[in-house]
Structure 1
Amino acid sequence: MDASDGHADREWRLIREEAWPGPMNMALDEIAAETAAAGGPRTLRVYRWEPRTLSLGYHQDPDTVDWDHCEREGVGVTRRPTGGGGIYHDSHGDVSYTIVAPADELPGDLVESYHELCAPILDAFERMGVPARFAETERPARHQPACYLRELHPAHDVVVETDGEERKVSGNAQHRRTDAVVQHGSLTYAVNAERHLAVFADASVTPAAFRERVTGIADHADVSRSEAVGALEAALADWADATEGSWTGDELERARDRASEKYASDEWTRRRPGRR
């Protein structure tokens, strides 16, 4: 990245792929935002979800979840501070990332901000040989509770055109605080339609219909998951001229407290739409 792009002259840390439970992943994003807002380093992170997790959108109705299935199969459930539908994450099919920076260092316009922060994501796909781009058409939703089956949005949905159809390969969302911006997203490495759909209470969508709308990195490039993670980490690091870093002990302690008090609580996860 050229220093004139405006990010390389600031302090960025890259936290390479780690595995955390869902509530801890969301808590770490929040703590990273507090660190950046307080004058600390901006954060780029790549991560897995262990155990496998259903992350709900901020406004999602908890009745859309098959809670019995999730408990029986050991699928964790948490709620994101960002909107959209639910996403099933496991340690093979999903690669997740977060970018965190002070709000005054990013465009105020939402679409501009998405396009700036998605630049390294598109670069990562290019490094893998996956012809990904922003969606160009707004396709109608097939299953509103599932993020990957909602309507496509050109601002933040990344697709690969296959057989003349745009299939979603990455969803990205922002939580815009007054002092910091958190953008996190999911890159699909391998599609497991059956497991993805099983976490939802309404099973009216078939796996075949899911595959018509969703694709994965492994469908388009001969790269292993670890190679895909490496491409994403390299693209993020080059974009911000970041140095490899880690969480401080204080950040981890605060994140564990935040995860326990907020992101793992029924009050947060089973919250009804409209409640804060």
Structure 2
Amino acid sequence: MTALADREWRLITDEARDGATQMALEEVAARTALEEDVRTVRVYSWEPSTLSLGYRQEADSVDWDFCDREGIDVTRRQTGGGGIYHDRYADISYTVVAPAEEVPGDLMECYALFCEPILTAFEEMGVDADFAAAEQSTIYKPSCYLRDINPAHDVVAPASSPTESRKISGNAQYRQRDVVIQHGSLSYAREPDKHVGVFDEVLETDTFTDRVTSIREESGIDREEAVDTLAAALGDWCDATPGEWRNEELTAARELADQKYGSEAWIRDREVLEAHEQ
């Protein structure tokens, strides 16, 4: 249990939502942490399956026709890095939101703190996972899972066999209104055709499978058990009380999704429109 457990935390095991709303909910959780002194950990899924672009990723790296044809939504994150294809089934995501003054100011120390429950969850799932022991070079920069592997925030498995280890989780942070938000993607299963298909580049599926592994491949547990294990690890880490979004938070998130995360201006050009410009 973290020293942060003496604060008020809530655990939200969220329902599947569209990508724009999922990103908006993180901003809403930041407001709640700052204004109401309630911190949030949550586990969530994406419906429909969604490609989340890194903050500075160029829109022309996306195969928009492929995404339209496959019914894949597109949004843009506040965090940097490459795009991540969040499959409705194959991806499990999480968020940790806490006031910045309560967590380490050093980025690497903060990653280590917030990833404690993630590594605990992998252990309890029977996955031999840990931070990467060494950097691995970039294969394809627009894709998060094919970019360089960084020991500071990328998790690989099996960790005990560095020459055979492949990426199983990526994690990223940003700060907003004096609040730290960390989110991450855990690979439950692999969908290589879609992971490479969302990008406007001819990539072989072996390029993805050679670099990425999954919870199902490493331990064989079913998805529901993996989600429950991750939620329990997050909740135990901060002694969180099971909770849910309040109606006013959901309303605010829908408005923010329309104004920002679901707008073409943000997705294509990182521009935030005022309400009168919608």
Would you say same fold, with TM above 0.5? Answer: yes
Q: 3-state SS of the aligned residue for 2:41?
A: strand
TM-score (norm 1): 0.95
Query: In the TM superposition, what is the alpha-carbon distance from 1:41 to its structure 2 partner?
Result: 1.1
Give the AA of the match of 2:247.
G
Runs of 4+ in 1 over 6 A off after TM superposition: none
Percent identical among aligned pairs is 55
Instruction: Tell me the residue number matched to 2:275.
Output: none
Tell me how many residue pairs correspond in the alignment. 270
Matches within 5 A, 1:246-261: 246-261=244-259
Instruction: Tell me the residue number matched to 1:265.
Output: 263
CA distance in 2, matches of 1:124, 1:229: 9
Query: In the TM superposition, what is the alpha-carbon distance from 1:151 to its structure 2 partner?
Result: 0.2
2:30–2:177: 8 Å Cα contact kept in structure 1? no
1:146-193 C-alpha deviation (Å, 9 max, x unpaired): 000000111110001368233000000001224100000000000111
RMSD (Å) for aligned C-alpha atoms: 1.3
Instruction: Tell me the residue number matched to 1:139.
Output: 136
Q: 3-state SS of the aligned residue for 1:168?
A: strand
Give the AA of the match of 2:20.
P
Relative to structure 2, which stretch is displaced further, 157-166 or 42-51?
A: 157-166
Give the AA of the match of 1:171.
G
Instruction: Tell me the residue number matched to 1:30.
Output: 27
2:11–2:40: 8 Å Cα contact kept in structure 1? yes
Instruction: Tell me the residue number matched to 1:223.
Output: 221
Q: Which runs of 5+ in 1 are unaligned?
A: none
Question: Which of residues 137, 145, 148 in structure 2 aligns to 1:148?
Answer: 145
Query: In the TM superposition, what is the alpha-carbon distance from 1:94 to its structure 2 partner?
Result: 0.3
Give the AA of the match of 2:248.
D
Relative to structure 2, which stretch is displaced further, 170-179 or 77-86?
A: 170-179
Instruction: Tell me the residue number matched to 1:130.
Output: 127
2:195–2:208: 8 Å Cα contact kept in structure 1? no
Give the AA of the match of 1:85.
G
Instruction: Tell me the residue number matched to 1:120.
Output: 117
1:17–1:229: 8 Å Cα contact kept in structure 2? no
1:73-109 C-alpha deviation (Å, 9 max, x unpaired): 1100000000110001112100000000011011000
Q: Which runs of 5+ in 2 are unaligned?
A: 273-278
TM-score (norm 2): 0.94
Matches within 5 A, 1:76-225: 76-161=73-158, 164-203=163-202, 205-225=203-223
CA distance in 1, matches of 2:104, 2:37: 20
CA distance in 1, matches of 2:70, 2:211: 25
Matched, 1:11 2:15: no
Give the AA of the match of 2:261.
Y
Matched, 1:46 2:13: no
Q: 3-state SS of the aligned residue for 1:219?
A: helix
Give the AA of the match of 1:39.
E
CA distance in 1, matches of 2:170, 2:193: 19
CA distance in 1, matches of 2:207, 2:266: 31
Q: 3-state SS of the aligned residue for 2:172?
A: strand
Give the AA of the match of 1:182.
I
